[in-house]
């Protein structure tokens, strides 16, 4: 677990990486979506979580609040699940005191199911294509924000206590079933 303040720094750095690359793929000509994702279900790791909207604030991707560790968020600069484009959902791996919503995300395997329920009552089902752990300096922005499908992102790998951040990201790539 992280020391106080360290998890916040790690989350902020992940947010900066997402902003730096996410702006490239955000289509500002699109009107705000009237249909939004409301919850995510990953049965294989027993995740059932509500989703909040995550936008940009002061040039950074908003993160779910640390005081609500079981909440994940859909980045509004990405596609609505079930629509054409890449849909990005972000969640914390842990807080300074406990595991968070995507703590077990690294355990998801190819072929497993991820379901996203939308505000229009539709549930979009995805099958996991791959899971990768990448150093934050090599964040695969083209894969995360490009193409189609669902991308789940959290921090992972080794926690560097000297810098107060995780060194890697865990990313799940899934295609609509």
pLDDT in tens, 13-55: 445 444 444 443 444 434 455 999 999 999 999 999 999 999 9
The CA-based diameter of the chain, rounded to the nearest angstrom, is 46
| Total structural domains within the chain | 1
Q: 99: pLDDT confidence band, cut at 50, 70 and 90?
A: very high
Yes or no: say if 145 and 21 are a contact pair by the CB < 8 Å rule: yes
The per-residue pLDDT for range 104-142, each reduced to its tens digit, is 999 999 999 999 999 999 999 999 999 999 999 999 989
Q: At 58, which CATH number?
A: 2.40.260.10
Q: Is residue 1 part of a domain?
A: no
C-beta of residue 54 within 8 angstroms of C-beta of residue 90: yes
- Whether the CA torsion 99, 52, 74, 24 is positive or negative: it is negative
Q: What angle do CA 31, 42, 18 make, to 5 degrees?
A: 45
Q: Model confidence at 66, in pLDDT bands (50, 70, 90)? A: confident
**13 domain-assigned:** yes
- What range defines the domain where residue 88 resides? 6-29+38-176
């Amino acid at each position: 677990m992280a020391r106080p303040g360290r998890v916040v720094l790690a989350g902020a750095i992940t947010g900066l990486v997402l902003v730096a690359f996410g702006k490239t793929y955000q289509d500002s000509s699109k009107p705000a979506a009237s249909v939004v994702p409301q919850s995510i279900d990953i049965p294989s790791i027993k995740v059932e979580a509500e989703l909040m909207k995550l936008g940009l604030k002061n040039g950074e991707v908003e993160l779910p609040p640390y005081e609500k560790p079981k909440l994940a968020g859909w980045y509004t600069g990405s596609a609505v699940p079930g629509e054409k484009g890449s849909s990005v959902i972000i969640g914390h791996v842990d807080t300074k005191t406990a595991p968070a919503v995507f703590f077990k995300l690294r355990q998801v395997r190819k072929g497993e199911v991820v379901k996203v329920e939308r505000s229009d009552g539709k549930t979009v089902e995805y099958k996991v294509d791959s899971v990768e752990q990448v150093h934050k300096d090599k964040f695969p922005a083209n894969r995360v924000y490009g193409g189609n499908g669902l991308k789940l992102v959290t921090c992972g790998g080794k926690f560097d206590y000297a810098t107060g951040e995780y060194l890697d990201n865990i990313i799940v790539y899934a295609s609509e079933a």
